[in-house]
Structure 1
Amino acid sequence: MNLRNIWLLLAIAGAVIPWYYLAGFLAANPLDIAGFLAASTVNDVGRGFVADLLISSLVFWIYMFSRRPDGPAPWPFIVINLFIGLSCALPAYLWASSGRRSR
C-alpha cells in the first residue's frame, strides 16, 4: 500500500470515527451548539483538547495558504475542517497534495 492510499484511508477514518462518537450527542441534542461547546469545555482536559485542536487547525490553514499555488486549493479543506474535522481534513489535503506531485 502506498502513502497516497494511506492518506485516503486516514481521511475516511478521520471522518467516520469522530462522528461515530458525536452522533449520540447530536441525536440527543440536535442543533444545540451552546450545549456542544459547554460539553466540550466542561473541564480542563476538554479545554486542553479544544485548544490543541484550534491551534492545530490554525497551523494547518496557514500551511495550506503558504503552499499556494503548488498545493491544492485550501478552501475545500477548510470546509472539511470546520464541518467534519481536522482528522479528516489534514489527511485529505495530504492525499490531494500527493496526487498533484505525482502528475
Structure 2
Amino acid sequence: MHSPALAPLTRRVLLALALAGLLLTWLYNLRYLAGGGSLMPGPFFQAAFANDLTTAITLDVYLAALAFSLGVAADQGAGRARWWAVAATFGIGLAVSLPGYLWWRSRPTGRDASTS
C-alpha cells in the first residue's frame, strides 16, 4: 500500500519547502559554526537552551521530530527505504525531512497511472 498521489502543484510546494528548509536552516547553522559554535553536546545544548524562547523552540522541534520518526517507523508500506527520513531528520533537519518525506511518499506509481 502507498500514500495517495498528490496534485502536482502540492508536490512541487512540498519539494520547495524541503529545499527552503535546507537552505534557510543551514544558513544559520553554518553561521553558528563559523562564529565558533560547536556540535559537541555540551556547548550545543547550552546554546539550544540558552533562554526561554530557544528552549521552547528546541523542545517543539525535537518533540515533533520524534513524533515524525514514529510515524515513519509505522509506515511499513513505504518499505525499508523509508528510514532515510529518520536519518535526515536528526542529521539535516525536520524542515527538510518532513516535507521531503511527504513528497517522496506521494510520488505517483505505475498503478496510479493505470487507475486514473
Fold agreement, TM-score > 0.5 = yes
Read off the aligned partner of 1:35 and give its amino acid letter.
Answer: P
Pick from 21, 45, 48 the counterpart of residue 53 of structure 2. 45
1-structure distance, mates of 2:70, 2:23: 25
Seq. identity, %: 29
Q: Equivalent residues in 2 for 1:1-103 (5 A)?
A: 2-29=9-36, 31-33=38-40, 34-70=42-78, 73-99=81-107, 102-103=108-109
1-structure distance, mates of 2:54, 2:98: 21
SS in 2 for 1:5: helix
Structure 2: unaligned runs, 5 residues or longer: 1-7, 110-116
2-structure distance, mates of 1:39, 1:54: 15
CA RMSD of aligned residues (A): 1.8
1-structure distance, mates of 2:105, 2:39: 35
Read off the aligned partner of 1:43 and give its amino acid letter.
Answer: N
Larger Rg: 2
Count of aligned positions: 101
2-structure distance, mates of 1:31, 1:44: 20
Contact 1:14 1:87 (C-alpha < 8 Å) held by counterparts: yes
Contact 1:61 1:74 (C-alpha < 8 Å) held by counterparts: no
SS in 2 for 1:2: helix
2-structure distance, mates of 1:11, 1:32: 23
Contact 1:72 1:96 (C-alpha < 8 Å) held by counterparts: no
What is the TM-score when the length of structure 2 is the normalising length?
0.78
Contact 2:89 2:96 (C-alpha < 8 Å) held by counterparts: yes
In the TM superposition, structure 1's runs of 4+ consecutive aligned residues that sit over 6 Å from their partners are none
What is the TM-score when the length of structure 1 is the normalising length?
0.87
Structure 1: unaligned runs, 5 residues or longer: none
SS in 2 for 1:8: helix
